[in-house]
Amino acid sequence: MEETFVDKTEEPILKVEHLKKYFPIKRNFFGKPTQFLHAVDDVSFEVNAGTAIGVVGESGCGKTTLGRTILRLYDVDGGTVVFDGVELSSLKKSELRKYRTDIQLIFQDPYSSLPPRMTVGSIIAEAVKVHKIVPSNEIHDYVLGVMKQCGLQPQYYDRYPHEFSGGQRQRICIARALAVKPRLVICDEPVSALDVSIQAQIINLLKDLQRTMGLTYVFISHDLSVVKYITDQIMVMYLGNVMELGDTERIFENPQHPYTKALFSAVPVPDPDAKMNRIILEGDIPSPANPPRGCKFHTRCSQCMNVCRMIPPAYLETEENHFVACHLYNEEIMRELDKYDAMYEEELRLQAEKEAEEYARKHRKRTRNSGSADGTDSSIGGTQDGTDGVSADGTEPADTPAGTTAGAEEAQTEESQVR
Q: Does 217 bind ligand SF4 (CB under 6 A)?
A: no
CB 407 within 8 A of CB 401: yes
DSSP string, 338-365: HHHHHHHHHHHHHHHHHHHHHHHHHHHH
Q: Determine the Cα–Cα distance for residues 59 and 296; give it in Å rounded to an integer.
A: 15
Q: Where are the beta strands (DSSP E) in 85-139?
A: 86-87, 103-106
Using CB under 6 A, which of the segments 2-10, 177-185, 212-220, 291-299 binds ligand SF4?
A: 291-299
For the chain, the helix, strand and coil percentages under 3-state DSSP, each to the nearest 5: 40, 20, 40
Smallest distance, Å, CB 231 to ligand SF4? 23
Of 123 and 325, nearer to ligand SF4 (C-beta) is 325
Residue 16 CB-density burial (10 A; 0-12 exposed, 13-18 middle, 19+ buried):
buried
Query: Can you name the residues that pair with 41 across neighbouring β-strands?
Result: 20
Instruction: Using alpha carbons only, give the angle 271, 272, 277 rounded to the nearest 5 degrees.
Output: 80
Candidate list 169, 298, 364, 368; residue touching ligand SF4; CB under 6 A:
298
Spatial separation of the C-alpha atoms in residues 193 and 223, rounded to whole Å: 12
175 is an interface residue for ligand SF4 by CB under 6 A: no
Strands 322-325 and 103-106: what pairing?
unpaired
Least CB distance from residue 242 to ligand SF4, whole Å? Answer: 13
Which range binds ligand SF4 by CB under 6 A, 44-52, 92-100, 324-332, 347-355? Answer: 324-332
| 370 to 137, 356, 396, 405, 416: CA distances (angstroms) | 87, 21, 18, 12, 16
Using the Cα atoms of residue 330, residue 332, residue 334 and residue 337 in order, give the sign of their dihedral.
Answer: negative
From candidates 103, 215, 295, 380, binder to ligand SF4 by CB under 6 A: 295
Interface segment toward ligand SF4; rule CB under 6 A; list 44-52, 159-167, 302-310, 341-349: 302-310
One of 224, 301, 380, 408 touching ligand SF4 (CB under 6 A): 301
Site membership for ligand SF4, residue 308 (CB under 6 A): yes
Interface residue with ligand SF4 among 264, 297, 323, 340 (CB under 6 A) is 297
- Residue 348 φ then ψ, to 5°: -65, -40
Show contacts with ligand SF4 in window 249-288 (CB under 6 A).
257-258
From the CA atom positions of the chain, what is the Rg in Å? 30
> Which of 54, 57, 291, 313 touches ligand SF4 (CB under 6 A)?
313
- Least separation in angstroms between residue 253's CB and ligand SF4 is 19
Q: Which is nearer to ligand SF4, 12 or 294 (CB)?
A: 294
Q: What is the residue type of 384? A: Q
The alpha carbon of 339 is separated from its chain's Cα centroid by a whole number of angstroms, namely 32
- Complex with ligand SF4: residue 256 or 379, whichever CB lies closer: 256
**CB under 8 Å to 266, separation ≥6 — which residues?**
224, 278, 279
Specify the stretch interacting with ligand SF4 by CB under 6 A; choose among 15-23, 71-79, 294-302, 368-376.
Answer: 294-302
Residues 202, 166: Cα–Cα separation, whole Å:
11
> Which H or E run contains 250?
helix 248-253
Phi, psi of 242 (to 5 degrees): -85, 125
Q: How far is the CB of 43 from ligand SF4 (least distance, A)?
A: 17
Identity of the residue, 56 or 143, whose beta carbon is nearer to ligand SF4 in the bound complex: 56
By CB under 6 A, the count of residues binding ligand SF4 is 14
Q: In the bound complex, what is the minimum distance in angstroms from residue 301's beta carbon to ligand SF4?
A: 3
**CB of 295: closest distance to ligand SF4 in angstroms?**
3
- 237 is an interface residue for ligand SF4 by CB under 6 A: no
**How far from chain centre, in Å, is Cα 43?**
9
* Beta carbon of residue 309, minimum distance to ligand SF4 (angstroms, whole number): 8
Q: Is 303 among the residues that bind ligand SF4 (CB under 6 A)?
A: yes
Scanning 134-142, 219-227, 300-308, 407-415 for contacts with ligand SF4 by CB under 6 A, the matching segment is 300-308
Could you list the residues that contact ligand SF4 (CB under 6 A)?
257-258, 295, 297-298, 301, 303-305, 308, 313, 326-328
